[in-house]
């Protein structure tokens, strides 16, 4: 009998020095606006707002193999949208994803991975997946946490 792999990624709520302002899924460019699940982070867990599929932050951070979660604040959303505009709407998904504050995934073997990407809009986006024993998702009020299912780790 096969065992089901699930990993709960702990989330640490930080108090934002100044709330960056609300934004919606529609404000995210391309496929970022169409996650499999999404939640807006509130000041406390009771204030979290389900945007798609799940009811809480805990529902998003419970990962199964080939799922990836990404954290976007207002500024990351704007940077991704500006990059999409510079690419005349043709930016690749992983290029838009690279603007996330954090990207955490669970690979097909059930190993936690964090994705480090760098380009700052200055050239090719090169993803680097690094295995980690422990990972903490760091969130602030008004952040939107996105989950994408059926992801591969070879982009």
Q: Is residue 38 part of a domain?
A: yes
Q: Is residue 104 part of a domain?
A: yes
Please enumerate in sequence order all residues whose Cβ is within 8 A of that of 127, keeping only pairs 6 or more positions apart, or say none.
Answer: 94, 98, 115, 116, 117, 155
Count of structural domains, the chain: 1
Q: Is residue 126 part of a domain?
A: yes
CA–CA distance, 76 with 106 (Å, rounded to integer): 23
CA–CA distance, 76 with 39 (Å, rounded to integer): 16
Q: Is residue 8 part of a domain?
A: no
Give the 3-state DSSP-derived string for 87-106, with helices as H, strands as E and coil as C: CCCCCCHHHHHCCCCEEEEE
CB atoms within 10 A of CB 15: 8
User: Which residues form the domain of 77?
Assistant: 23-148
pLDDT tens figures, 75-121: 999 999 999 999 899 999 988 999 999 999 999 999 999 998 766 55
Is the whole model's pTM more than 0.75, yes or no?
yes
pLDDT of residue 120: 57
Q: Is residue 37 part of a domain?
A: yes
Q: Is residue 35 part of a domain?
A: yes
């Amino acid at each position: 009998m096969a065992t089901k792999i699930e990993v709960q990624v702990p989330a640490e709520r930080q108090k934002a020095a100044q709330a960056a302002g609300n934004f919606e899924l529609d404000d995210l460019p391309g496929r970022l606006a169409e996650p499999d699940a999404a939640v807006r982070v509130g000041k406390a867990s009771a204030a979290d707002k389900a945007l798609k599929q799940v009811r809480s932050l805990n529902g998003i951070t419970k990962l199964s193999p080939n799922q990836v979660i990404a954290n976007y604040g207002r500024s990351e959303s704007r940077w991704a949208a500006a990059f999409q505009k510079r690419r005349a709407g043709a930016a690749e998904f992983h290029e838009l994803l690279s603007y996330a504050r954090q990207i955490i995934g669970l690979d097909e073997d059930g190993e936690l991975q964090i994705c480090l990407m760098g380009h700052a809009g200055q050239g090719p986006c090169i993803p680097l997946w690094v295995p980690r024993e422990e990972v903490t998702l760091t969130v602030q009020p008004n952040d939107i946490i996105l989950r994408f299912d059926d992801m591969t780790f070879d982009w």
